[in-house]
Structure 1
């Protein structure tokens, strides 16, 4: 698989993107644009920095102008004029509807069920969407001690749906995580409901594919990125991965999406390179 890819359209949008199939783009740019398209207008989304931040700001500048971005630092309905480098970057307060203490952001917004979408990441993600950002190995005597939950467990438990953007590597996708930091479909969809958790993971977007969850709450491959084979994805996954009966091809970025990413959102290539 090469870093720059081209493809024919398979999602019915070929007319809109005619002449763009020869565009060059990176794996990160494809992940960002794919994640941005998962967001809907007039939703509230809890945003972190990095690639998820690019996806949210791209969505707001394209198909979701009324997307309400809420950052963990407590800025409500942010509309940053430039790329924030941390959740405490003052640029997030510019144009925001409000700035509240972090406690209030989590209690009155997230825990109260007012967040539609949350972005998550972690060191390990298993077949049920459970995420580990605590330890690699045994908890009492780990091989690696990781940063821990932060707000991730609260996001995974209370947002109405969650999205994950991550590189696709076998070490990141074991059949079972070493520690459940952020719950996915623990014990299946029914098990999650029994625990009283809202929502659940909806999609995992990697540099190889887009994966979603079936009725039992297990991952399957929905679309493969251009020039990626089933074998590529399976080799990078720690269990016998399921594929949709009609696996599609992930839509490539448009010229306008690439322009916004490269010239407006991340002209210095902080996250895109």
Structure 2
């Protein structure tokens, strides 16, 4: 294996010290840079020319990708990310991560010197400290649902009180991040809320009480999916259920209106068997 291939196996960005420990001399690394096979990233790192720009920036700034930035890269549900979130050692000295939010907290899992991305446990802990409860809960539930981390593992880690609240509240069966917002926001109604209930051959997002169904549409609810949703709504109503269907923007940007619909339905007893 040549030094170019060795860097590729390490994600496209590698520390010079790690490459030397693997048997590549400083001369071999310098030659690869001169030939254009590698690009120098500051003094300590090299990268292949088409390396992930996020990883290159992390190496340049001596940080690791974490919080909502790494959560999104892992495919987890993130409500918003207006700036990059990176992590640095508590005593790392001056960090010049321009345009990024730097998290200085001690990581739960130690970071290897080669690490440019945080493991999922550190990501969740940083999200817990950084984000409001509901968006953080959506990330945590997404990680549990996708099997990226086990609840038992998280329970054994030295989590903060906020992180433990998130772990206690997290439902790994929530189907989308938006569904993480609903139970905490409607708990005051004191009505049973069952996520992902199975009715008439399909799952519904929420069954409130015995007969009130709340469906939350994402961007994919168009075309054939939309026609299927309409048909299922009709079947539910024929079976005696009442359906409230709202979308992403209504939940995120106009929650009082959504809450008003639900509380009016509950006040009319539409959640009860008649």
Q: Same fold (TM over 0.5)?
A: no
Bigger RCO of structures 1 and 2 (CA < 8 A, at least 6 apart)? 1
- Please give the TM-score of this superposition, normalised by the length of structure 2: 0.27
Task: Flag the structure with higher strand content.
Answer: 1
Task: Flag the structure with higher helix content.
Answer: 2
- Please give the TM-score of this superposition, normalised by the length of structure 1: 0.27
